[in-house]
Amino acid sequence: MNSSQITTTQRIKAIVGGSIGNLVEWYDWYAYAAFAIYFSNSFFPDSDLTAQLLNTAGIFAVGFLMRPVGGWLFGSIADRIGRKKAMTLSVLLMSFGSLLIALTPTYKTIGVLAPLLLLVARLLQGLSVGGEYGVSATYLSEMATNDRRGFYSSFQYVTLIGGQLIALGIQLILQKLLLTEAQLEDWGWRIPFVIGALLSVIALYLRSNLHETEAFENKKDVSEKKKGTIKELLKHPKALLTVVGLTLGGTLAFYTYTTYMQKFLVNTVHLTKEESTLISFISLLIFACLQPVFGALSDKIGRRPLLLSFGILGTIFTYPLLNALSHTTSMWGAFFLIMSALIIVSGYTSINAVVKAELFPSEVRALGVGLPYALTVAIFGGTAEYIALWFKQANVEHYFYWYITACIFFSFVVYATMKDTKNTSTLDKD
Q: What pLDDT is attached to residue 49?
A: 65
209-223, 337-351, 385-399: range with lowest mean pLDDT: 209-223
Q: ∠ CA 197-203-208 to the nearest 5 degrees? A: 130
The answer to whether 262 and 276 are in contact (CB under 8 A) is: yes
Q: What pLDDT is attached to residue 48?
A: 59
The answer to whether 70 and 92 are in contact (CB under 8 A) is: no
pLDDT at 4 over 70: no
How far apart (Å, rounded) are the C-alpha atoms in residues 368 and 359? 8
pLDDT mean over 249-272: 89
Most confident of 172-181, 192-201, 298-307: 298-307
Query: For residue 258, which of 165, 191, 321, 333 has the smallest C-alpha distance?
Result: 165
pLDDT bin (cut points 50, 70, 90) of residue 64 is confident
Query: For residue 352, which of 224, 221, 254 has the smallest C-alpha distance?
Result: 254
Global pTM reads 0.84
Q: What pLDDT is attached to residue 5?
A: 59
Q: What pLDDT is attached to residue 1?
A: 44
Query: For residue 29, which of 85, 105, 90 has the smallest C-alpha distance?
Result: 90
Torsion of CA 404, 406, 411, 412, to 10 degrees: 110
Query: For residue 321, which of 307, 346, 339, 298 has the smallest C-alpha distance?
Result: 339
The type of residue at 257 is Y
- Per-chain mean pLDDT for the chain: 87
pLDDT bin (cut points 50, 70, 90) of residue 2 is very low
Q: Which residues of 179-208 are buried (b: 16+ CB within 10 A; e: fewer)?
A: beeeebbeebbbbbbebbbebbeebbebbe
